Amino acid sequence: MTSPITTERHGDVLVIISNNPPVNALGAAVRQGLEAGLKEAAGDDSIKAVVIRCDGRTFFAGADITEFGRAMQEPGLPTVVDMIEAFDKPVIAAIHGTALGGGCEVTLGCHYRIAVPSAKIGTPEVKLGLLPGAGGTQRIPRIAGVALALEMTAKGDPISAAKAMQAGLIDRLAGEESLAADAIAFARDVAAARPLPRAREKTATADPDAIAAFRKDNAKRFRGFDAPAANIACVEKAADGSSFDDGIAFERTEFMKLMMGVQSAAQRHIFFAERQAAKIDGIAADIALRTIKKVGVIGAGTMGGGISMNFLSAGIPVTIVEMQQEALDRGTGVIRKNYEASAAKGRMKPEQVAMAMGALTPTLNLDDLADCDLVIEAVYENMDVKKELFGKLDKIVKQGAILASNTSYLNVDEIAASTGRPQDVLGMHFFSPANVMKLLEVVRGAKTADDVLATVMALAKTIKKVAVVSGVCHGFIGNRMLMPRQVEANKLLMEGATPEQIDRVHVEFGMPMGPFQMSDLAGVDIGWHRDPTRIENIRDALAAEGRWGQKKSAGFYDYDEKRNPTPSARVAEIIEDFRSKSNLPKREISDEEIIERTLYTMVNEGALILEEKMAQRASDIDVVWIYGYGWPVYRGGPMFWADTEGAKKIVAGLEKHGFKVAELLKSNAETGSRFK
């Protein structure tokens, strides 16, 4: 087998080059090649310095994650990094693209670092529930200081070459097109320099108050996660006067704790699940896709505007349609305001705002959609309205165009049947706010053509969405699983639990908010029948009194002017009134019962979805709930969580409360199997 590592001699400089597409991952063959390259340089007295660089689009962008959980082939990455650092000739890292994770640690082992201005450097291991385990937590603080080390390791966001140079992580900037030559010139400049700058020989100091402030400032971001605390502890160790070797031993212990823990397994599961979700069962990977050069969006409200922004930001022109000029002006005004807010925060340049708005064509005429390649409707969630609209689109829009509904519950097959081209129809369920939320449920109708589905899944990547294929069922994957949670949460209110208890249990579990906080945020009146004299449940009673949630400063909670919630005496009265009318005795509800009835029921529904083949795989369900509903990533999604809890425990909890258990879940409990 050909090694991904080659060497080139440039006079007295040996260049070690990695060519391991797509991202030069530091797999065993790469590590072995780096070791061989160093040995070659060590055995040749005429070589005065070494450059390590990569071909392709990036420097080493991290460890080979497929090796996780398997026996590591020697040399391990820590050994290679130590070998580079101990080398008695200058070693220069030449960085382009991204130097991430293990790639960053390779650069830290080098004595000098040169990078192109567009390069980024970082340690994103925390996002997989880990820490940089090849000395990163010990070398960054020694080279660039504790403050930057905390930011890089505990948050995991990469930094620019300019910021890295300012901090001392990079020694010199190269020309964007001349990295190879500039790195060799740099190597010659430092060839005779001694002593060699080695990170292990430097010291780091820290202000305990600054570390405490960092923890406090990021408490919300780090809530529930184990890895940020471990990263912080390792950086602290680097600055407490301990020897480098003691710091490395501490880092190794903390790394292994995380590696063997459930949280990292969950986060790695989602890493792979997101990539797996893009694959469509039964469709060839090389199927010819339809061309999407122009998109139509019907509806300029919150959803329609947000959907339009996804395409405009990707450089795809959008024609947006409304019924009334006022609604059209308001919708396009919100789009402009959102873009200008992004520009004010430095996320966009003013010319990018102008370009995006210039690609938007507002109109009151459906006929203006005739030449669109994809049309997405985002109108009122009513089947008759949607069927009438799709009947019109069938006559207006060119043949071969894709027609999509943004419905969140309705039957896509019924909508498709209102056209003469059901093969061109599918669901594209965006999540609100559509320009922010990453999830896109792509609903495959019974007659949806393979190339239509494949085109939309590919397009999702273009507009930076994580797409998951769903079959046609009420609520698809996400909202279908949400329903039993909401139903049981409302029953629990009637039996003695309070909104704040139920929400607290969900937040402590790791959700961003509980079911009643979510209802207040979305609007208690959403889907309400609008008849204040027809009061059939607690929500009807709240809506009839104008308690529509945060927008009215009253819903399941009372809100102050800053939208801070407090328990509501009036809501307690309404619940008590309903309970007494229903002759339900009030009882103590345990937190455990809330979990069993609101979360175990979701797992059960997920099992039914898999039985019915409404989702391609269990991990797709996990992706939906991570990216669409805020399920804590450190729990890996509802189906992964169910596997860690154990199917037997889930089944016992469901049966205790009289729920009918899905056959797949029962089977898993009996055989000890995991969801697939």
- Residue numbers annotated as active site: 105, 125
Of 592, 599, 588, 587, which Cα lies nearest the Cα of 639? 599
The verdict on whether omega for the bond into residue 362 sits within 30 degrees of 0, i.e. cis, is: no
How many Cα atoms occupy the beta-carbon half-sphere of 13 within 13 Å? 24
Using CB atoms within 10 A of its CB, is residue 53 exposed (0-12), middle (13-18) or buried (19+)?
buried
- Beta-carbon contacts of 344 under 8 Å, excluding residues fewer than 6 positions away, are none
> For residues 232 and 213, what is the distance between their CA atoms, to the nearest angstrom?
12
Place of tokens 């985002």: 378
Bridge-based pairing of strands 159-160 and 98-100 is: unpaired
Please state, in angstroms and rounded to a whole number, the distance separating the CA atoms of residues 449 and 428: 15
Query: What gap in Å lies between CA 244 and CA 141, rounded to an integer?
Result: 11
Instruction: Determine contact, residues 483/565, Cβ cutoff 8 Å.
Output: no
Helix (H), strand (E) at residue 470: strand 466-470
- Quickly tell me which residue has 């507002």 as its tokens: 362
- Is the separation of the CB atoms in 268 and 391 below 8 Å? no
Is there a contact between 160 and 17 (Cβ–Cβ < 8 Å)?
A: no
C-beta of residue 498 within 8 angstroms of C-beta of residue 567 = yes
417: amino acid identity, one letter: A
Q: DSSP secondary structure string, 19-67?
A: --TTTT-B-HHHHHHHHHHHHHHHT-TT--EEEEEE-TT-S---B-GGG
DSSP string over 585-596:
PP----HHHHHH
The separation between CA 575 and the C-alpha centre of its own chain, rounded to angstroms, equals 38
Query: Distance between CA atoms of 34 and 106, rounded to whole angstroms?
Result: 10
